[in-house]
């Protein structure tokens, strides 16, 4: 399994990034940053459970296959997946979400890019993995790997805030 | 990262999460504040500025993007009514095909964000959906007291005439001259 759900069209509609950004703004405004993080973690463990299960069974090759299929189905990204023995690195040279929000003239929530960490780490943990993120605001680097005692925790300061224009 | 390909899947999941978190009011507020006023502000701007022509432009673009297989039709009588028939809604259809159902009524989200937008712009709505990826909409000025058309009157392939419209105990939710997200009757 690469993607758990299938549509009749090859790529999603880019305007849905507007809704993702607006949803983050609403949730943070109503529930605070901690409530928004809880939403992402619940989604990571709940909605994404079929993917997490596939990652747990298939290990890092399944992680790489998922992200390859994921970005093929996203409109407007420029991404390279590096599959190594001990980690999968997702090198996002042009984030399709940030690019479309900017083209659309949207006010992007400054913490937008941290959703990839909160969601990604919840999913990785459910699969017996961990993830780290650095960069943001249009280009970034995600790494998925098996947790080890010596690994430094994620520094949220390593994730850049987003400016709208 | 949250993507667009399965957006409808976690959008529907989000409705259930919000309702558990803050009850029905939080979900209704989400549809108005987040989707109608923020995410879809381009729709508001078009429809406030251009009325019926703005509706044709907005839905002509967005439905073509979401449903390139054209599981819908848009018809209109100039300066009188705009009508949509969804024979195979790309959004609800995605959920049905993938067996996704966390929230008790995904289809309510459309009136949840479109209804308040139309009301603010001076329009009213007749609408029904059957929870099987089929629905119809007629939008008129709020001052126009013309009732909804009879099946087939405005469009020959009216969703109400589809073989599966009301078969096998389908629950049909109906809004009559109402933009209120809670204004439906179920049958």
Q: Mind listing the pLDDT tens digit for each residue in A70-126?
A: 999 999 999 999 999 999 999 999 999 999 999 999 999 999 999 999 999 999 999
User: B152 and B161 in contact (C-beta within 8 Å)?
Assistant: yes
Interchain CB contact of A41 with B (< 8 Å): no
What's the mean pLDDT in B40-64?
93
User: A67 and A88 in contact (C-beta within 8 Å)?
Assistant: yes
Which residues touch A155 (CB under 8 Å, ≥6 apart)?
none
Distance from CA of B7 to the nearest CA of A (A): 7
What is the interface pTM, i.e. ipTM, of the complex?
0.96
Retrieve residue B100's tokens.
């996704």
The pLDDT value recorded for residue B96 is 96
Has residue B67 got a pLDDT over 80? no
Length of chain A: 165
SS3 B85: strand
Q: Is A41 exposed, middle or buried (0-12, 13-18, 19+ CB in 10 A)?
A: middle
The pLDDT value recorded for residue B156 is 83
Q: How far apart are CA B127 and CA A163, in angstroms?
A: 40
Total-model pTM: 0.95
Q: How far apart are CA B2 and CA A163, in angstroms?
A: 19
Distance from CA of B146 to the nearest CA of A (A): 34
The pLDDT value recorded for residue B118 is 98
Q: How far apart are CA B158 and CA B52, in angstroms?
A: 20
Q: How far apart are CA B47 and CA A103, in angstroms?
A: 21
Interchain CB contact of A69 with B (< 8 Å): no
Has residue A153 got a pLDDT over 90? yes
Q: With CB atoms and an 8 Å threshold, state whether B7 touches A20.
A: yes
Q: Which residue(s) pair with A83 in the sheet? A: A88
Q: What integer best gives the mean pLDDT of chain A?
A: 95
Per DSSP bridges, beta strands B81-86 and B135-141 are: antiparallel
Residue of A7, A30, A46 with shortest CB distance to B5: A7
Chain B residues in contact with A113 (beta carbon < 8 A): none
The pLDDT value recorded for residue B68 is 63
What's the mean pLDDT in B171-180?
96
> Per DSSP, which regions of chain A are E strands?
78-83, 87-94, 130-136, 139-145
Of B89, B29, B95, B121, nearest in space to A22 by CA: B29
For the stretch B80-99, pLDDT in tens is 999 999 999 999 999 999 99
The pLDDT value recorded for residue A165 is 59
Residue of B9, B22, B34 with shortest CB distance to A23: B34
**Alpha helix (H) residue ranges in B30-79:** 41-50, 52-66
Distance from CA of B116 to the nearest CA of A (A): 17
In the structure, what pLDDT confidence band is assigned to residue B52 with cuts at 50, 70 and 90?
Answer: very high
The pLDDT value recorded for residue B62 is 80
Residue of A43, A119, A120 with shortest CB distance to B13: A43
Interchain CB contact of B75 with A (< 8 Å): no
Q: Which residue(s) pair with A131 in the sheet? A: A144
């Amino acid at each position: 399994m690469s993607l758990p759900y299938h549509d009749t069209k090859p790529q999603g509609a880019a305007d849905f990034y507007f809704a993702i950004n607006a949803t983050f703004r609403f949730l943070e405004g109503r529930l605070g940053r901690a409530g928004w993080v809880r939403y992402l973690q619940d989604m990571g463990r709940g909605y994404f459970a079929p993917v997490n299960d596939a990652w747990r069974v298939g290990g890092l090759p399944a992680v790489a296959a998922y992200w390859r299929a994921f970005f093929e189905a996203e409109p407007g990204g420029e991404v390279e997946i590096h599959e190594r023995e001990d980690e999968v690195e997702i090198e996002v040279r042009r984030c399709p979400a940030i690019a479309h929000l900017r083209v659309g003239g949207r006010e992007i929530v400054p913490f937008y890019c941290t959703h990839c960490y909160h969601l990604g780490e919840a999913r990785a943990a459910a699969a017996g993995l961990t993830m780290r993120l650095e960069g943001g605001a249009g280009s970034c680097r995600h790494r998925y790997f098996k947790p080890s005692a010596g690994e430094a925790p994620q520094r949220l300061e390593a994730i850049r805030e987003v400016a709208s224009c | 990262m949250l993507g667009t390909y399965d957006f409808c899947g976690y959008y529907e999941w989000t409705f259930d999460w919000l309702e558990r978190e803050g009850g029905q009011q939080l979900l209704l507020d989400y549809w108005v504040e987040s989707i109608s006023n923020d995410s879809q502000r381009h729709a508001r701007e078009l429809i406030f500025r251009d009325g019926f022509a703005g509706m044709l432009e907005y839905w002509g673009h967005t439905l073509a993007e979401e449903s390139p297989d054209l599981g819908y039709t848009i018809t209109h009588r100039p300066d009188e009514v705009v009508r949509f028939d969804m024979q195979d809604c790309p959004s609800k259809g995605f959920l049905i095909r993938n067996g996704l159902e966390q929230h008790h009524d995904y289809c309510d989200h459309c009136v949840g964000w479109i209804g308040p937008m139309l009301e603010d712009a001076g329009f009213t709505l007749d609408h029904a959906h059957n929870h099987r990826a089929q629905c119809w909409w007629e939008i008129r000025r709020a001052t126009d007291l013309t009732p909804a058309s009879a099946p087939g009157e405005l469009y020959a392939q009216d969703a109400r005439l589809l073989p599966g419209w009301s078969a096998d105990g389908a629950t049909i939710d109906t809004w009559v001259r109402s933009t209120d997200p809670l204004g439906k009757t179920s049958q």
